[in-house]
Structure 1
Amino acid sequence: MKATWDIFCTVVDNYGDIGVTWRLARQLVDEHEIAVRLWVDDLNAFVPMCPGADAAALQQWQQGVDVRQWPAEWVPIEPADVVIGAFACQLPAHYVEAMRARAKPPLWLNLEYLSAEHWVEGCHGLPSPQANGLRKVFFFPGFTEKTGGLLREATLLARRQAFEQSAEARQAFLQRLGVYPEVQARLISLFAYENTQLGNWLDALAAGSQPTHLLVPQGRILADVGSWLGQARLEVGDVRVRGALTVQILPFVSQDDYDRLLWSCDFNAVRGEDSFVRAQWAGRPMLWHIYVQDENAHWEKLEAFLEHYRHGLSADASAALVALWRAWNMDRDVGQAWQAAQQHWPELQQHARDWAARQATRPDLAMALVQFYRNWL
């Protein structure tokens, strides 16, 4: 019999946690023919990225994945052969007890948040004995061969290339979203947390010599965009023009359409973890809004990634890139940093392609998880 997998997800920050676990579950089913149950405590966050899903259903099948509502009162159920607790979420006590009661306990993995910090390599794959006799293993995604890799479907880069080579496919996709940019306009996507420096950037775009069409999917940054425009409330489909900048509000789209959106743009501002990884696979210059932590602990994670990502850039381009990312995440003048980065645009474009190609030479996260289970057996 084939192994069964349970993935548990507690929705903490709107879409990041469910975005990663839903993408992982789909890939395990599609590419490894694994029976996956995805347990989610808030399906309202799941529905926007999986059109057709039912937020009230206790159980539903979506794209081959058995999606379950994580009930407040746990109903006894046989644990899977592999159990993944995403991002240190606490599994139901009754489920853990059922794991312990099995003749052969399942492989219990704690799928951690993505980080480029040096200590991750030393902790990846380490076991953590539990008081009840079970053993939990820390599994870290990452950017080096000593980590678990990044989520990447086997056909992802080939699909991106086919899309890029078809002007008709790009035009049809944008038109489906109601986007009709000027011929010479630079297309930018913006998916971010609230940011007091957004206005500086938008001012720079509006005053620029090149037309810019900014696509803003529904999300937390919308209020800041509206404040800059002097509009209290923005709705999906709204289009506003100020100077050289056109701002358009998009609906929240499925994961596959979000990939196409990233591929369609010349620059992508993203946030959190799932969109952060997908922007890297898009092979476009990008800007990451890292999730804010107490006492600015997130700055260390930002710097750790930049240490990896800027490798191969010239000194001037590297400095401009770092200044832009720091400005966005450290409450500095983003508009000024953006203008400085424009002087290195061709190099930043090529670097983004090269980075994606280098990361694609390593095993992807789903494959690494499957191989880890095989080795454990």
Structure 2
Amino acid sequence: MARWDIFCSVVDNYGDIGVTWRLARQLAAEQGHAVRLWVDELSAFVRLCPAANPDAESQLRSGVEVRHWREPFPAVEPAEVVIEAFACQLPPSYIEAMTARGSRRLWLNLEYLSAEDWVAGCHGLPSPQPGGLQKFFFFPGFVAGTGGLLREAELLARRRAFQADASARQAFLQSLGVVRVAGARLISLFAYENAGLAGWLDALAAGAQATQLLVPQGKILADLQVWLGDAQLAPGDQRRRGNLQIHVLPFLAQDDYDRLLWCCDLNAVRGEDSFIRAQWAGRPLLWHIYPQEEGAHWDKLEAFLALYGAELPSDVAAAHAAWWRAWNAGEGMEQAWPALLHAWPVLQQHAERWCDSQAARPDLATALEQFYLNWLSYAA
């Protein structure tokens, strides 16, 4: 059993801590490693793990030792495997300790997820560091030659069992205060601020089919309030306009958020963690990618659209791409949505096929474990 340290610096959302918390739990549960997760903002961690103590310097949660990462950094023995998530900077004293110990440590920079072509060529490349240390770049990805996607061993079996159990889905929704209307389309909405929301809501409200929109607490609530003309929306609130019924939900712990995705016919998601989980739900999804300076995120968006749409009929792929582009541009959703509905049956089937094709590849935790074992063999 090896010791693993994972360092997570929370930026301004929950993607970083969401990914690292899932990864830490899986490495501990499935690979049997002793894992420490260092988090600089415990308040963000508590949103995902409500049982956690926001004031504890150290606590054991789901088999993972969660440590508060702050200065001065404590004197600790570096782990055999050290992961700095998403290019965060390790504490200088920790790097000094790695250098001083003499025995080698595997140092990995876990990068952001991307479908861009160059990722496979950079995955696993070494980067020499001062003091004789070496760091490797580890890229999650959707194709061979990358590190795969986060996926627990029994995730898809649990998801399919839940989706096949109508009473379980009904009970879960009712625990959130949601009673499903017969024949209604169920959509989850978790997104950054988006000026295009109003146009989409107008289209849903005027649509022929009833829609129930489930909105966990988050940044998109401000735009929803403007559209509704409400000063404040809170968990438990419900509003109706035309054929659209809106349910405001609390911010959900990760396992409950998974179940929400499994219940819905369509999932609008954001960032990286919810983006991956929506793919494992086997349902059509709408991705609000994290905006970057100078529009760098558009290359990532287009790369994924090309990959995801490669096996779709050309007209369906075009409608799907136009819908995603409109959402991320913040305009044109009222035109893109009706066009998408014509392609809906094909997209439903494709979502499950895409899930199966990605599940046929090694998951991220397994790929990390194999990289570590290969590194041990080489080091020996």
| CA offset digits 1:135-156 (Å, max 9, x no partner) | 1100000001110000000000
TM-score, structure 2 as length reference: 0.98
Matching residue of 1:138: 137
Matching residue of 1:286: 285
Deviation at 1:358, TM superposition (A): 0.3
Matching residue of 1:248: 247
Matching residue of 1:28: 27
**Partner Cα distance (2:258, 2:331) in 1:** 29
**Partner Cα distance (1:303, 1:14) in 2:** 23
Worse overlay, 80-89 or 230-239: 230-239
How do residues 214-229 of structure 1 correspond to structure 2 at under 5 angstroms?
Answer: 214-229=213-228
How do residues 158-173 of structure 1 correspond to structure 2 at under 5 angstroms?
Answer: 158-173=157-172
Deviation at 1:164, TM superposition (A): 1.0
Matching residue of 1:270: 269
Residues 328 and 334, structure 1, Cα contact 8 Å, conserved in 2? yes
Q: Give 1:204's aligned amino acid.
A: A
Q: Give 2:184's aligned amino acid.
A: A
Matching residue of 1:206: 205
SS of the residue corresponding to residue 189 of structure 1 reads: strand
Deviation at 1:342, TM superposition (A): 0.1
Aligned identity (percent) is 66
Q: Give 1:265's aligned amino acid.
A: C
How do residues 1-377 of structure 1 correspond to structure 2 at under 5 angstroms?
Answer: 2-377=1-376
Deviation at 1:375, TM superposition (A): 0.5
Residues 77 and 97, structure 2, Cα contact 8 Å, conserved in 1? yes
SS of the residue corresponding to residue 350 of structure 1 reads: helix
Q: How many residues align?
A: 376
Unaligned 5+ segments in structure 1 are: none
**Partner Cα distance (1:298, 1:110) in 2:** 20
Deviation at 1:245, TM superposition (A): 0.4
Deviation at 1:8, TM superposition (A): 0.1
Deviation at 1:335, TM superposition (A): 1.6
**Partner Cα distance (1:299, 1:336) in 2:** 21
SS of the residue corresponding to residue 44 of structure 2 reads: coil
Structure 1 runs of 4+ with >6 Å offset: none
**Partner Cα distance (1:96, 1:227) in 2:** 48
CA RMSD of aligned residues (A): 0.7
| CA offset digits 1:88-120 (Å, max 9, x no partner) | 000000000001112212100000000000110
SS of the residue corresponding to residue 194 of structure 1 reads: coil
Worse overlay, 175-184 or 338-347: 175-184
SS of the residue corresponding to residue 131 of structure 2 reads: coil
| CA offset digits 1:318-354 (Å, max 9, x no partner) | 1100000000012331121011000011000000000
Q: Give 2:116's aligned amino acid.
A: E
SS of the residue corresponding to residue 38 of structure 2 reads: strand
SS of the residue corresponding to residue 302 of structure 1 reads: helix
